[in-house]
Amino acid sequence: MQEEIFVSGRHIPNIDPYLQIWHWQISLYLFLGGLAAGVLFFAALFYLLKKEDEMPATVKYAPIIAPIALIVGLAALFFDLTHKLYVWQLYTTVRIESPMSWGAWVLLITTPISILWVFSYYRETYPRLEAKLQTFKRLKFLESFEKFLIKNRKVMAIALIPLSLVLGVYTGILLSAFNARPLWNNAILGPLFLTSGLSTGAAGILFFSKNHFERKLVSKIDLALIFIELALIVHMFMGMYAGSQVQLEAMHILLGGSYTVMFFVFVIILGLLVPFVLELTEIIGFKVPVIVPAMLVLIGGLIFRIVMVNAGQLTRYLY
Amino acid sequence: MKTSRRQFIKISSLGVGGVALASSAIGPVSSSSFLDELIEGNPSTNLKQTATYCEVCFWKCAAWAYTNEDGKIIKLKGNKTDTHCHGRLCPRGTGGVGMYNDEDRLKTPLIRTSVNGKQTFRKATWEEALDLIASKMKDVKSKYGAESFALLKHGSPGSHLEHLFKAYGSDTIAEPAYAQCRGPRETGFELTLGPWIGSPEPTDIRDTKCLVLIGSHIGENMHNSQVQEMSDAIDNGATIITVDPRLSTAASKSQHWLAIKPATDIALLLSWMHVIIEEKLYDEAYIKKYGYGFKELKEHVKDLTPEWAYGITTIKPEQIRETARLMAAAAPSVIVHPGRHVVWYGDDSQRERAIAMLNGLLGSWGKRGGFYFKEKVSLPKFPHPAYPKPKWGWEEIGKKYPYAEMGITSELIKSSIPGEDNEHPIKAWIIAGTNLINTVPQREMILKAMDAVEFIAVVDTMPMEITGYADVVLPECTYLERYDGIRNAPKRVPSLALRQPVAKPKYNSNPAWWISKQLGERLGLHDYFQYNDFEDVIKWQLEQVGTSLEEMKRLGVKKFERKTPLYMEDGEDFEFATNSGKIEFFSNELAANGFDPMPVYKQHPEPPQGFYRLIYGRSPMHTFSRTINNPNLNALKDTNKLWVNPKVARILGLKKDQTVWLENQDGIDSVFSIKVRVTERIRFDSVYMYHGFGQNNKKLTRAYGKGISDTHMISKVAVDPLMGGTGLRGNFVKILTEDPHKKSII
Amino acid sequence: MVIDTLKCVGCSDCVVACQTENNVPMGYCRDWVTESVSGTYPQVELELKSERCNHCDNAPCVRCCPTGASHIVEGGIVLVTHDECIGCGACIEACPYDARYQHPEGGYVDKCTFCHHRLVKGQDPACVEVCPTKCMYFGDLDDPTSEVSKLLKTRKHKVLAPEAGTSPNVYYLIK
């Protein structure tokens, strides 16, 4: 029999018997970051494809999600820090080896751009609100500012494509770079999080869409993304199955352990398979309230990140 | 619960002790993180060093205590010149700051009183408490004689009170450390080789070529320089042979681990002697010169072959032969270690005598790598009048045991129970420095005795379980806050170590020397305490040996020249301190007193079906009750676990960390529960646990209710007929998976 | 650092000494002792050793730190600058040895520093200095005449979780 124990009573709070360093705030941010990335990517993409009129929700209305998501997400992250007063240190240096540093800088650049993007469409999308607030009357410089932004939309869009992709993928790379957490330590996680982010972004757009053509296109895109996501999840399991002892144990948490039910019910079935089927039936011809699969995809995305963050912290190399 | 005159006071109300509500998450140092940042996480600047010696166990390592500007004790480090520790304190010594900082400490004198029919403690002034004790002492003296007041003690506080008691006229003094711990080995060695082993043991482990441990778990008993020397021995490539039913830490570092069946050690020892004698592996000239009764021994072990021993001990004959040959090849640089806690099965003096005889055969006594001759400084005692001669004392109480050389605590406790055949009735106790109820077995008997005596006073630093039975509780300050006697422990190099206060006594506590003096004054014994402060005593003593208090404060430890040789010369006309002046392989004295002149293997009771032998031992981070609540050390280990062999676990369906209870052969159930540790380290017929846990006083906030007290489970003792030691390893327990206390409610 | 598992008795003195030397908050520890038992009674083997941050050459915690608070100083020692740490916890997630913790009052991340404040004074780390069995050795691995280098040349040794690829600098001497 093999026995491994601590002799000296190690019970470090939040470290033993398993890590509890990252809580729901991190999962929430990962979800919101992915959502914002997806929304911004599609907005920029369809703008550059000159489809802004056929896809008004994608380009003009839905992007309001991005700044809200990013600001809420950043707030969640900030409150998860334990040494908050020093948060400004993040912006004194760029550390190429640290995905978290990339994230900090990307967020710093993307959030203002997303706000500017939304603002550039503000008068077009919220005429009644503007009529009430009269901000353009009160702040004269806004007129010229808006003109400036509208002229430079293409620049913003070109910038947003790589930024949103980095935003979507870096959360996955962040986790996969931690080889000390066997559940996270596989390269698939980056693309998986990106796909999931784009998928939730598409789902978010569906909420805002009133245009039938747009809905159909975005649904089709979402369908494809869900399919890719399922394939990547299968890949992830295959990779872990062929990995070392610690990875097998990590896989066990999702396939027969404490997070199995949550993962399969909320993430796989309700978050991926059901929306897939629903959107497929919609495309075939049956009418399905589009809200339903969209909601399910969003919930599935959030739960997926909650499961990954918590289950990942259950796994460790030693002890 | 049966009514008793002396109820155990469990409540912690009345603000007794005033458990500090300050968060115990803040460690023993300043909680200012801002300051921490400034000093880059470690304020090792500007710390004052004060010399002292440790009291966390009896090894008494000299140390330096570091205090900051506020007078707070920050850390303890060993004194590099001290031979007890060589500058390295053990974990308990390093954790001594916790003893000082423990907010559960006794803070004020307490007196038992009755509130609404319920017995409880009330806070009292020192005046009140001391007056009460003194009046009781006067009472007992006039009514029954001073002899009827007993002192049950341990350690430094004990020595101060011993002086008081002797001046008062009582020699009814005992320490559990004798008959419940090391007593038999003193008897065994004395009868064979001459002197006591004493503390610290004079084993030359540093230079040995072969170390044989009979159950001794060096490494888990953190006896500082002994563990250091074992480490040196490992570096030097010495052979270590361990005889233990459990894979102790020492056994894991041994070349030979003899996984013996419990209670059969004498058979092994005799068989080893057989091999050494029959294969002529001994030094003939040595035995001829220094041995007495060798012919009788040879005859005695003639048929005790390894094959015979194999049937009894389950150790293979080849291994018995091999290890005997290894020992003999290393002789005389071989040590068959006498052990320390040796009260196991009732024939322990004889087993220790066998160990001594084996050492005698191997010629290790007084030889380098064997046993050296220890020497102390000849330090005069502070002058006082001669002690009065009491009519009877510990000797008379233990006279049934002819070889008892100190008070037998269990006998003193028995003498406290009134009865027709009680010739030496004890009427009152002072308990100092020992958590008696968790040290001495047969709890029922102790409870009965405590009920019967008229008065009990307890002197302690912590609210140990025993304080719950006292009439008066006196809070002593810790060793870091007081003066105590100069350490004059015998070792290779005689040395003196100073203990002085490092910090002022916390709360309303006082040192034991002051308590003794105060009581002495009240009893009219001023002549025995002719000083104002114990510092005067130390100053005087140091001047007598050519040093001074200032020098000792500066050095901490002062070494002196030896006056006697460290080892025996080859062929020297050495006289052993025995009756015959030689190594007594055959003891006429024992024969004359009706005992076995040479050790004989006797079978001991084995666990019945479904029961397992309860064995216990030390954990290196604790000194039993003394450190159990210490915040630093409790963080290392706060509970004991029940070691169970995987085969047994499978039969009983036990899983790792499962909660179980114990019931012993007399139906006594454990008060608390314990978690199971399934491990291959323990034999399948025994279960093992660390001693000192299962504390039953709620005021010990960290230690209360954690684990099981093995002492509580020991109700059957096998008494050693030679010196009265109580053999404690003959108790068998059943493992219960359901709470036995719940059943009794139905 | 080189630790001889053949001499370690698991007394945990290193743990207490570190706590008193470095003001480690109660309930936390920068180093700890583990026990490994293998075999079947009575052929049982036992290994005791003291573990801590391994000050890895290829430290994942230094790599992932977004502010650079976690850095390597001369001598290969991994330290955390408290004032640059934001408490994001990435380094804790990154360490395969779970050697780091968030300081309960300071908020920053803390761990074994090899008693850097003592090293600069020419002293040994507190744990090495206190160990009663003298089973811990500290020195310059780049110096071939140092005791640690000599021990690694003459004795069999191992490191913890080599498969994590971090190149740890705490070596354990084994049988």
Q: Which amino acid is at B365?
A: W
Which uninterrupted H or E stretch holds B661? strand B659-664
Report the Cα–Cα distance between both ends of chain C, in Å, rounded.
Answer: 18
Helix (H, G, I), strand (E, B) or coil at B111: strand
Which pLDDT score is estimated for B148?
Answer: 95
Average pLDDT of the residues in B657-681: 95
Q: Which amino acid is at B447?
A: L
Contacting chains of B (3 CB pairs or more, <8 Å) are A, C
Contact A157, A44 (CB under 8 A): yes
Residue B40 has pLDDT above 60, yes or no: no
Q: Would an 8 Å CB–CB cutoff place B679 in contact with chain C?
A: yes
Which pLDDT score is estimated for A186?
Answer: 87
The residue of A16, A74, A84, A100 whose CB has the most chain C CBs within 10 angstroms, and thus the best one to mutate to test that interface, is A100
Q: Would an 8 Å CB–CB cutoff place B633 in contact with chain C?
A: yes
Average pLDDT of the residues in A89-98: 91
CA distances (Å), origin C153, targets B235, C50, C159: 16, 21, 15
Residue B5 has pLDDT above 70, yes or no: no
Short-list B310, C110, C90, B423, CA closest to A104: C90
Average pLDDT of the residues in B266-278: 96
Short-list B308, B323, B351, CA closest to B258: B323
The answer to whether the CB atoms of B91 and C104 lie below 8 A apart is no
- Across the interface, which of A13, A83, A244 has its CB nearest the CB of C85? A83
Contact A67, A118 (CB under 8 A): yes
The answer to whether the CB atoms of C46 and B26 lie below 8 A apart is no
Q: Would an 8 Å CB–CB cutoff place B28 in contact with chain C?
A: yes
Report the Cα–Cα distance between both ends of chain A, in Å, rounded.
Answer: 16
**Rounded-to-integer distance, Cα A112 and Cα A125, Å:** 19
Percent of residues, chain B, with pLDDT higher than 90: 90
Distance from CA of B640 to the nearest CA of A (A): 11
User: Which value, in Å, is the radius of gyration of the alpha carbons in chain C?
Assistant: 16
Angle between helices A274-284 and A212-241 (to 10 degrees): 140
**Range with the largest mean pLDDT of B112-116, B243-247, C141-145:** B243-247
Give the 3-state secondary structure of A189-216: HHHHHHHHHHHHHHHHHHHHCCCHHHHH
**Rounded-to-integer distance, Cα A273 and Cα A255, Å:** 17
Q: Which residues of chain C have pLDDT under 70?
A: none
Q: What is the pLDDT of residues B614-633, one digit of tens each?
A: 999 999 999 999 999 999 99
Residue ranges of C 80-139 with Cβ closer than 8 A to chain A: 83-90, 92-98, 100-102, 104, 106-108
**Rounded-to-integer distance, Cα A172 and Cα A187, Å:** 8
**Rounded-to-integer distance, Cα A308 and Cα A26, Å:** 11
Q: Report how far Cα C102 is from the mean position of its chain's Cα atoms.
A: 17
Which pLDDT score is estimated for A136?
Answer: 83
CA distances (Å), origin A207, targets A73, A80, A98, A115: 20, 30, 35, 20
Neighbours of B646 (CB within 10 A): 18
Q: Which residues of chain A have a CB within 8 Å of the CB of B679?
A: 1, 3
- Across the interface, which of B91, B230, B645 has its CB nearest the CB of C11? B91
Q: Which residues of chain A have a CB within 8 Å of the CB of B621?
A: 8
Cα four-point dihedral sign B531, B536, B541, B544: negative
Give the confidence band of B745 by pLDDT, cuts at 50, 70, 90. Answer: low
Q: Would an 8 Å CB–CB cutoff place A134 in contact with chain B?
A: no
Residues of B engaging A, defined by a Cβ cutoff of 8 Å: 621, 635-638, 646, 677-680
The answer to whether the CB atoms of C25 and B680 lie below 8 A apart is no
Which two three-digit tokens encode residue A270?
């309700």
Q: Is the ipTM of this complex over 0.90?
A: yes
Which uninterrupted H or E stretch holds B617? strand B612-617
Which pLDDT score is estimated for A52?
Answer: 84
CA angle, C49 then B241 then B717, to 5°? 95
Which two three-digit tokens encode residue B318?
């080849």
Give the confidence band of B476 by pLDDT, cuts at 50, 70, 90. Answer: very high
Which two three-digit tokens encode residue B404?
């008892």
Phi (first) and psi of residue A93, to 5 degrees: -155, 150
Cα four-point dihedral sign B424, B429, B433, B439: positive
Short-list B436, B465, B456, B434, CA closest to B8: B465
The answer to whether the CB atoms of B637 and A3 lie below 8 A apart is no
The residue of B637, B645, B675 whose CB has the most chain A CBs within 10 angstroms, and thus the best one to mutate to test that interface, is B637
Give the confidence band of B744 by pLDDT, cuts at 50, 70, 90. Answer: low
Which pLDDT score is estimated for B7?
Answer: 65
Average pLDDT of the residues in B170-182: 95
Q: Would an 8 Å CB–CB cutoff place A3 in contact with chain B?
A: yes
State chain B's mean pLDDT as an integer. Answer: 91
The answer to whether the CB atoms of C36 and A4 lie below 8 A apart is yes
CB-facing half-sphere around the CA of B631: CA atoms within 13 A: 22
Cα four-point dihedral sign B206, C9, B462, B714: negative
* H-type alpha helices, A90-211: 99-120, 122-125, 127-133, 135-138, 141-151, 153-176, 189-208
Q: Would an 8 Å CB–CB cutoff place A82 in contact with chain B?
A: no
Q: What is the pLDDT of residues B543-598, one digit of tens each?
A: 999 999 999 999 999 999 999 999 999 888 999 999 999 999 999 999 999 999 99
Residue of higher predicted confidence among B34 and C136: C136
Contacts of B149 (CB under 8 A, 6+ apart): B137, B140, B141, B165, B168, B170, B172, B426, B427, B428, B429, B430
Percent of residues, chain A, with pLDDT higher than 90: 61
Residue the block writes with tokens 């991340």: C109
Contact A206, A228 (CB under 8 A): no
Strand ranges (E), C5-160: 31-40, 43-52, 70-73, 77-80, 101-102, 109-110, 136-137, 157-158
Average pLDDT of the residues in B151-178: 95
Cα nearest neighbour of C84 on chain B: B37
B-C interface: how many C-beta pairs under 8 angstroms?
160
**Rounded-to-integer distance, Cα B335 and Cα B365, Å:** 9
**Rounded-to-integer distance, Cα B519 and Cα B134, Å:** 6
pTM for this one?
Answer: 0.91
* H-type alpha helices, B496-602: 512-522, 534-544, 549-555, 588-592
Q: Would an 8 Å CB–CB cutoff place B236 in contact with chain C?
A: no
Which uninterrupted H or E stretch holds B141? helix B126-143
Distance from CA of A8 to the nearest CA of C (A): 5
The residue of A15, A77, A185 whose CB has the most chain C CBs within 10 angstroms, and thus the best one to mutate to test that interface, is A15
Contacts of B322 (CB under 8 A, 6+ apart): B256
**Rounded-to-integer distance, Cα B359 and Cα B273, Å:** 10
Residue A57 has pLDDT above 90, yes or no: no
**Rounded-to-integer distance, Cα B17 and Cα B107, Å:** 6
Q: Are strands B239-243 and B256-258 parallel, antiparallel or unpaired?
A: parallel
Is the link from the previous residue into B607 a cis peptide, with omega within 30 of 0? Answer: no
Which pLDDT score is estimated for B116?
Answer: 87
Short-list A10, A46, A18, CA closest to A221: A46
Which pLDDT score is estimated for A135?
Answer: 82
**Rounded-to-integer distance, Cα B533 and Cα B278, Å:** 63
CA distances (Å), origin B452, targets B393, B456, B472, B715: 19, 10, 16, 20
Q: Which residues of chain B have a CB within 8 Å of the CB of A9?
A: 635-638
Give the confidence band of B11 by pLDDT, cuts at 50, 70, 90. Answer: very low
Phi (first) and psi of residue A38, to 5 degrees: -65, -50
Residue B270 has pLDDT above 50, yes or no: yes
Q: Which residues of chain B have a CB within 8 Å of the CB of C110?
A: 41
Which pLDDT score is estimated for C149?
Answer: 95
Average pLDDT of the residues in B328-338: 95
Which pLDDT score is estimated for B45?
Answer: 66
CB-count burial class (<10 Å; 0-12, 13-18, 19+) for B309: buried
Residue B434 has pLDDT above 60, yes or no: yes
Q: Which amino acid is at A173?
A: I
Q: Would an 8 Å CB–CB cutoff place C20 in contact with chain B?
A: yes
Cα nearest neighbour of C49 on chain B: B249
The answer to whether the CB atoms of C130 and B252 lie below 8 A apart is no
Which pLDDT score is estimated for B10?
Answer: 57
**Rounded-to-integer distance, Cα B386 and Cα B393, Å:** 17
CB-count burial class (<10 Å; 0-12, 13-18, 19+) for A256: exposed
Name all contacts of A238-242 with Cβ < 8 Å and 24+ positions apart.
A239/A186, A239/A188, A240/A182, A240/A183, A240/A186
The answer to whether the CB atoms of A180 and C93 lie below 8 A apart is yes
Cα nearest neighbour of A95 on chain C: C66
Give the confidence band of B4 by pLDDT, cuts at 50, 70, 90. Answer: low
**Rounded-to-integer distance, Cα B740 and Cα B2, Å:** 18
Angle between helices B306-313 and B317-330 (to 10 degrees): 120
Average pLDDT of the residues in A169-188: 90
